[in-house]
Structure 1
């Protein structure tokens, strides 16, 4: 089954053709990072306008690269939730137009489900059940994947997402947007024990995350140095901050794995590309006899291949929408509409 997939939830306009949920026939990504960099983050209105300008060309390129016409694909999939509402609407309405004109089935896909499904592309042997840490700019979840379309949220952030904390801390340190990759690079030259930073916990919820206090601690440290006329070591602070985030994410995940008896651990989302997180979890999982599965960096960030991968399983489960489909900015992974 060949699925044309469209992704426009944030600042990448992407399209791909994926066969049977794991074979990539094409993948096109038009990124807006350089434009948003001057603002220090994504500007929703600009993102929406750029999606409008890019989506037709990106979809056409994806079909051309796959050597297929729209008539030769079996269905059209699109990220419908969650994300920036204006950005989502561009993709959803474009996909609806394609389906209305061609008669192809329309498959709505949840963005976080897609990030998890990115692992199926390079690891077709991976099958549920497993425990997945989804960490990105907008999401931090521990999810029990019971089946391809059956998800249970075990833990979540109570404030900032891990990727959001990376970007805000990086901005305070003077790094450009997006900050996570710059902190990752700088941390390799720094001392992770140079600065003592907090590891906030959520009382009574051992699997939940909180990153706001950690982010604030970094900002306060930098402000205190400025007030005293002192310099802070940016590489050391980056390394110390990254170590704190990695330990927070890993400790919660490994605790959940132990208590819920999961030995198959999966990473997903933009933060799963972080070298510190990958290295730490690889070591800790090996010590416990767990299997760790991670996607390649290209499939950690937003792309349409992951949408096509999850769409295949949504289609098999009967999750096909009609023309009343609408985008939704916020929707839990386990509460998507039925059609």
Structure 2
């Protein structure tokens, strides 16, 4: 009962989502709250300064709303995603907003303050929600700003992460949003294109993809799709673009799976929440005896659950 009443607050301030979670020491999710940042119609993103301002407002409002929900719990620590990746020099202004808020909360409450990265937060949340149960696996991080293939070795209280594949230009999420805005959808556009692709029951032609030894280019796909976007339905275009992404990822996984002798692949990030992409990749990879692990949408998209769980692990290691 004592562990159930003690919680770690997790905080994550990504490019487009403000997230706060509360996890008890039994790793049960007590709170999982998120607010999308607002992007003006027709825009394909936010400047970091605008995102920082919205995060500041969101964090104050969200924590005020959550106080009554966690009044019966003892906050023993705060864990925040303070940088994009777990590598030296990794920095993005939006994450400093979350860090400053977390530092203030921990100081006022006189609790432990732990730091992690946005990427580790994604991995931990997805690992928590799946039954992958492996200490070594490939992880595909597909989001609005990132498309990377990671070789992950799980440690007692974290991960060793090596980038073994990635896009050399725009990310899968950027490609989806650029096409989606062109089609007239609100940013972010992933859910619209996913629904369209699922409704498209006709065979579509394949675009030329660029994928070699785990590394991909999507700008060529973007140019090809923009040359035909006015000639086909939104459903058709959506299916074509998602096919191009999943075919590129599939080709990269096949190469890297063979290179590193790994048959387990975990998918994280907002793009991996696509039902169309997940269903197709699960089948294609299964045919190659590769196990694909997709998490629920709420765990795949930006969230603070991973930060909270990492904080719990760190706290317990010190007890």
Partner of 1:123: 130
Q: Secondary structure at the match of 1:209?
A: strand
**Match of 2:79, SS?**
strand
The separation in 2 between residues aligned to 1:196 and 1:123, in whole angstroms, is 32
Larger fraction in strand: 2
Alpha-carbon offset, residue 176 of structure 1: 2.6
Tell me how far 1:63 sits from its aligned partner: 4.8
* SS in structure 1 at match of 2:199: coil
The superposition leaves residues 55-88 of structure 1 with CA deviations (integer Å, 9 ceiling, x where unpaired) of: 123234445334445xx22211111112984422
Instruction: Provide the secondary structure at the position in 1 that maps to 2:161.
Output: strand
**Are residue 58 (structure 1) and residue 65 (structure 2) matched?**
no
8 Å CA contact retained: 1:22, 1:124 = no
Q: 1:190 to 1:3 in 2, by over 3 A?
A: same
1:301-312 matches, cutoff 5 A: 301-312=301-312
* Residues 1:126 and 1:66: Cα distance change in structure 2 (over 3 Å): farther
- d(CA) in 2 for partners of 1:260, 1:21: 34
Deviation string 1:122-172 (CA, Å, 9 cap, x unpaired) is: 236634211111111111111111113211111111111111111112222
2:266 maps to which residue?
A: 266
Q: Note the C-alpha offset of 1:214.
A: 0.6
The reply on whether 1:100 has 2:107 as its aligned counterpart is: yes
The residue aligned with 1:208 is 215
Q: Distance in 2 between matches of 1:60 and 1:27?
A: 14
CA contact (8 A) 2:250 2:285 kept: no
Alignment of 1:19-30 (within 5 A): 19-20=24-25, 22-30=27-35
Structure 2 residue runs without a partner (length 5+): 86-90
Question: TM-score, length-normalised on structure 2?
Answer: 0.86
Contact 2:148–2:165 (CA under 8 A) maintained in structure 1: yes
RMSD of aligned Cα (Å): 2.4
Report the CA distance shift for 1:30/1:311 in structure 2 as closer, same or farther (over 3 A).
same
CA positional deviation for 1:298:
1.0
Structure 1 pair 37/301, CA: closer, same or farther in 2 (3 Å)? farther
Contact 1:6 1:77 in 2 (8 A): yes
In structure 2, distance between residues paired with 1:54 and 1:267 = 28
Aligned to 1:44: 48
CA distance in 2, matches of 1:313, 1:198: 45
Shift of the 216–144 alpha-carbon distance from structure 1 to 2, 3 Å rule, reads same
Q: Secondary structure at the match of 1:267?
A: strand
CA distance in 1, matches of 2:295, 2:27: 13
Aligned-partner Cα distance in 2 for 1:108–1:188: 39
Structure 1 position 48, deviation (Å): 1.7
Cα displacement (A) at 1:192: 6.6
Counterpart-to-counterpart distance in 1, 2:306 and 2:269:
11
Aligned to 1:243: 243
CA deviations over 1:242-263 (Å, ceiling 9, x no partner): 1111110122113211221112
Aligned to 2:224: 217
Match of 1:11 in 2: 16
Task: Work out the CA distance in 1 between the residues paired with 2:181 and 2:201.
Answer: 20
| Distance 1:247-1:22 versus aligned 2 partners, 3 A rule | farther
In structure 2, the CA distance between the partners of 1:125 and 1:191, relative to structure 1 (3 Å rule), is closer
Once the two structures are TM-superposed, the CA of residue 316 in structure 1 deviates from its matched residue by 6.4
- Does 1:197 pair with 2:201? no
- Paired position in structure 1 for 2:88: none
Give the TM-score normalised by structure 1. 0.81
Q: Is the 8 Å Cα contact of residues 168 and 217 (structure 2) preserved in structure 1?
A: yes
Q: Give the secondary-structure state (helix, strand or coil) at the position aligned to 2:82.
A: strand
Change beyond 3 A, Cα 1:88–1:125 = same
